[in-house]
Chain A
Amino acid sequence: MKQQQITHALNQISEQAVPDTLNLWPAIQTRLPNRRPQPSAVYPLRRLATVAAIALAAIVVIMAVPPLHALAQQIIDSLFIASTGSEQMTQTYTVDIQPTPTFAVIPQPSGLAEVEAQAGFDVHEPALPAGYVFDSANYYAEGQAVYHNYHFGDQWGSRNLVIQQQPLSALEALEVGPNAVVETVQIGAFTGEYLTGWWDSEVALTPIEGSSQAVVEVESTWNPNIAMQWLRWQDGETAYQIMFQSATLPSSEYYNGGDTTSPGYLTKDDLVAIAASLR
């Protein structure tokens, strides 16, 4: 009786406020992000071999197109330079979907000593915030850049810290959105630049019938709320960059400032402190 009474009252209260004719779909449609929930089969591919080839091609494109680097959990090699176009840009490429030895562009992760030997310069290590552990390091010969990767506890993906070091002469321009806000920060005796956000990219890859190629269309929109923070500075002839990612891709947190409350979150000041600690 008591339970029925309270349930009845709750039903009546809520039915008065929310009629059966409610229709949220139009409003939800307008809020849907400009991407799909990673369908299990987007393209009607006939053979698994083709799927594998396209996956390899996609990796190459991701590594080649700056706005896609974040998708591959990698870092780009360039400065903060505002895009001269709109907040949205579309890039179209034709790529070969047949795997060849040139696909081996992604270096295998290794230890810091190993990449230091490959790079030929001293790699400076940070004083890590509590709970952060070393993950791996890579050396990209093309940009003469060393990347060392760290994460908080077991939260790879939602608490990622990547430090990049390379000769200043090898640094390339990084295009950020025209609305990106770049702040000047002081890192010890050096002046650095800090910003938040990244390109929100959707990739459409369409195999060309009767050929071994595919058209890749990348539509990117700058989103200052994407859960990525960037800090860049130079010390003499060496350029540094720190990237911190505070939410897993894809997640709603990733597109809305990240998970800023749970342990391991790093603020701008934390990143500056890490930068100052590099030795």
Chain B
Amino acid sequence: MKNGGEMDEQQAVRRLKQGDIGGLEALVHLHQVRAMRAAYLVTHDRAQAEDVVQTAFIRAYERIHQFDSQRPFAPWFLRSVVNDAVKAVSRSQRFIELDNDDFSWEETLPDTELSPDDSVEAEEVRQTMWDALAKLPAQQRAAVVMRYYLGLSEAEMSQELTSPPGTIKWRLHTARERLRKLLTLTDLYLERRPE
């Protein structure tokens, strides 16, 4: 034990495998915030994200005996959360998914005549990112979240995602292309802001 009786991840997994519900509680407290944030970035809906994360924890509880204790829990769990979030978005069809040719990044840019105040600028960058994410197909949005929020390498993403390698490669490539455009436009936007 450490931190005043709190369990670390390995202890929590070990206890959960022994049928101790306290192990699950510890895992929830360890990973709920990061899982919720990742799910929210994919779903753009807090209630839906919460349902996804709760369900993922319950599934982890049911399937903990399939989990290899030698591996870290967080990557395994967070990747499943992102995958579930993609499925939830697909089911709800909340987003209008656009093909590459129809996608206009310019429309996501905020007004360039706004004040140069840093906090305003940061807020506009966030809004730009948020709007741009919303226009990505769910799978590509998940790729962005996995790569840039969860910090997974492409190899890690390919290893865990349950899609054929060719599909993953295509998805990552497309997401990267769109990200490149987004970043380019964001940089251009920032560069042409008034001093």
Contact = CB atoms under 8 A, between A and B. Distances in A.
Contacts of B148: 3, 6-7, 10
A14 to B, nearest CB: 3
Contacts of A16: 126
Contact of A18 (B24, B33, B130): B33
A40 to B, nearest CB: 6
Contacts of A14: 37-38, 40-41, 149
A72 interface: no
Most chain-A CB neighbours within 10 Å: which of B24, B64, B144? B24
Contacts of A236: none
B59 interface: yes
Interface stretch (A20-28, A205-213, A227-235): A20-28
Nearest to A24: B32
A37 B67 CA distance: 12
B61 A5 contact: no
A74 B189 CA distance: 66
A27 B40 CA distance: 17
A41 interface: yes
Given A2-B187, A22-B33, A39-B17, A9 B129 contact: yes
Contacts, number: 110
A200 B85 CA distance: 28
A28 B57 contact: yes
Contacts of B130: 13
Interface residues of A, number: 35
Interface in A1-53: 2-3, 5-7, 9-18, 20, 22-25, 27-28, 31-33, 36-42
Given A14-B149, A39-B19, A6 B183 contact: yes
B54 A24 contact: yes
A16 B53 CA distance: 18
Contact of A28 (B33, B41, B58, B179): B58
B98 interface: no
B29 interface: yes
Interface in B33-85: 33, 36-38, 40-41, 46, 49-50, 53-55, 57-59, 61-65
Interface string B116-157: 000000100110111000000000000011001101000000
Nearest to B45: A17
Query: Which of A3, A12, A13, A15 is the most central at the interface, judged by chain B CB atoms within 10 Å of its CB?
Result: A13
B88 interface: no
- Chain A CB within 10 A, most for which of B38, B125, B128, B144: B125
